[in-house]
Amino acid sequence: MIHLPNDDATCGWYHAITKTPEKPRLTGEQTADYVVLGGGFAGLAMARRLALHAPNARIILIDAQRIGQGASGRNSGFVIDLPHKFSLEHPDPAHKQKLLKLNRSAIDQLSSLVSKYKIDCQWSAAGKYQGAVGERGEAYLDHFEHLMKDLGEPYQHINGDDLSKVLGTNYYSRAIYTPGGYLVQPAALACGLGDNLPDNVEVLENSPINNLSKEHGKWLLHSKHGVVKTPKLLLGTSIFTREFGFLKNRLLPVMTFASWTRPLNDDEMKAYTGLLDWGLTPADHAGTTIRMTADRRILIRNTYKHVDKYGASSTVNENVRKQIQDDHRKVFLARYPQLIDVPFTHSWGGTYAISRNFTNFFGELDDGVYASACDNGVGIAWGTVSGTLLADLVMGEQSESLDDIQHVTGMPSLNPPEPFLGIGVKSRISLAKWLSRSEI
């Protein structure tokens, strides 16, 4: 093991929630019927579904940090029903419809859990705006409209004053609104799900696994203070799946960054003039994502970095974060010059896995080892549905949804060796940023 999860302590979402007491760490020698590694949305769904199938089994969910501290608590809080932009261009209409159905089943599942357990996470059927600033963004928006027509999904054009009344800024020239997506406070949702798992799921936090071995048909997960043995291991470890020898040279670690303000006061809300609780993603994928949260915070997200040294040896230091925050500040003030006195309180990064062929892995990696890996940047819905169905696969439960997810997933393509991979990815990110500079 080279890289262990060790995210920065500056995530605004996580700072904003009320913390529950820490769960125990992995200590001593333990055995379990099933072990789920990774407490993000995929791992949480795996553990829940396993417990429902096998209520008498001992199921252990292990996270290297606390639930909500990792990538699942660091995204922008969009629970997207539509296939991702690249998936929307897939030539097979049935493929896109399967993705749409899978994402919507995840939204239904999460809606039910939020309601059942009264999880306070700003869960909202707010839909999503996709916005354009200028000609380049408008061209992408026209292409998106064409894809939406092919998919047969409803959408609405929002222009001029109607758009500025929502966003509180006239910076954007046009947007397309799609009604099926949800917004959420992601760290609050992850923690709420973790606090309401079935009774036969034991959660172990702050227990990074630094070695995986096999002995007499059982998998042994070794931490600094203990070991757990299991015949069935489910990995919800995203990019860290590589650290256990699986999907090596097939996953790309990318970090994206966000900053947000403190909650606006009443006078600042009057100056802002827009609505609460909306989210906008850029028509040009290298542009800026922006959200106004239900508790009056404005969030800015852009900037992508290839981080070949992620986890504990992350190359993203405080100087890099300061530069990113300065860039976010320029973006913020370009949209909201009337809020010049509103400071940012937090800036943070999160690492996720993408693949060169934009393919998600789902299935068995080795005898008794299963994984859902590589969410390609759409983690909440995909993590939830893929984790649920992976548990079904392990338990031998057949369904149309399981058939669908096996149809739309596959093997991420091989990457070129380093240093060529890093040079190529960094060059491509830099080029995309330059080309999209008018939309950032």
Residue 428: inside a domain: yes
Average pLDDT over residues 166-174: 97
Parallel/antiparallel/unpaired status of strands 233-235 and 209-215: unpaired
Average pLDDT over residues 147-155: 96
**Least confident residue range of 1-15, 106-120, 150-164, 165-179:** 1-15
Residue 212: inside a domain: yes
Is the predicted pLDDT of residue 6 greater than 60, yes or no?
A: yes
pLDDT at residue number 400: 98
pLDDT at residue number 378: 75
Tally of domains within the chain: 1
pLDDT at residue number 68: 96
Is residue 439 very low, low, confident or very high in pLDDT (cuts 50, 70, 90)? confident
Nearest by Cα to 378 from 142, 155, 108, 186 = 186
| CATH number for 348 | 3.50.50.60
Q: Give residue-wise pLDDT tens across range 353-392.
A: 889 898 999 999 999 999 999 876 678 999 999 999 999 9
Average pLDDT over residues 343-347: 96
Residue burial 23-56, b: 16+ Cβ < 10 Å; e: rest: beebeeebebebbbbbbbbbbbbbbbbbbebbee
Average pLDDT over residues 347-351: 92
Q: Give residue-wise pLDDT tens across range 244-255.
A: 999 999 998 888
Residue 303: inside a domain: yes
pLDDT at residue number 194: 98
**Least confident residue range of 70-79, 300-309, 322-331:** 300-309
pTM for the structure as a whole: 0.96
Residue 330: inside a domain: yes
Is residue 174 very low, low, confident or very high in pLDDT (cuts 50, 70, 90)? very high
Q: What is the mean pLDDT of the chain?
A: 93
pLDDT at residue number 314: 56
Is the predicted pLDDT of residue 320 greater than 90, yes or no?
A: no
Q: What percent of the chain has pLDDT over 70?
A: 98
Residue 172: inside a domain: no
Q: Give residue-wise pLDDT tens across range 274-292.
A: 999 999 999 998 899 999 9
pLDDT at residue number 342: 98
Average pLDDT over residues 258-262: 97
Residue 144: inside a domain: no
How would you class 58 by CB atoms within 10 Å of its CB: exposed for 0-12, middle for 13-18, buried for 19 or more?
middle
pLDDT at residue number 377: 66
**Domain carrying residue 66:** 1-126+183-265+294-440
Average pLDDT over residues 269-273: 98
Q: State how far the alpha carbon of 419 is from the alpha carbons of 210, 242, 415, in Å.
A: 25, 17, 11
pLDDT at residue number 434: 79
pLDDT at residue number 312: 62
Q: Are 371 and 237 in contact (CB under 8 A)?
A: yes
Q: Give residue-wise pLDDT tens across range 79-99.
A: 999 988 788 999 999 999 999
Is residue 309 very low, low, confident or very high in pLDDT (cuts 50, 70, 90)? confident
Highest-scoring range by mean pLDDT, 73-87, 228-242, 420-434: 228-242
pLDDT at residue number 257: 94
Q: Give residue-wise pLDDT tens across range 17-60.
A: 999 999 999 999 999 999 999 999 999 999 999 999 999 999 99
Q: Are 330 and 171 in contact (CB under 8 A)?
A: no
Residue 145: inside a domain: no
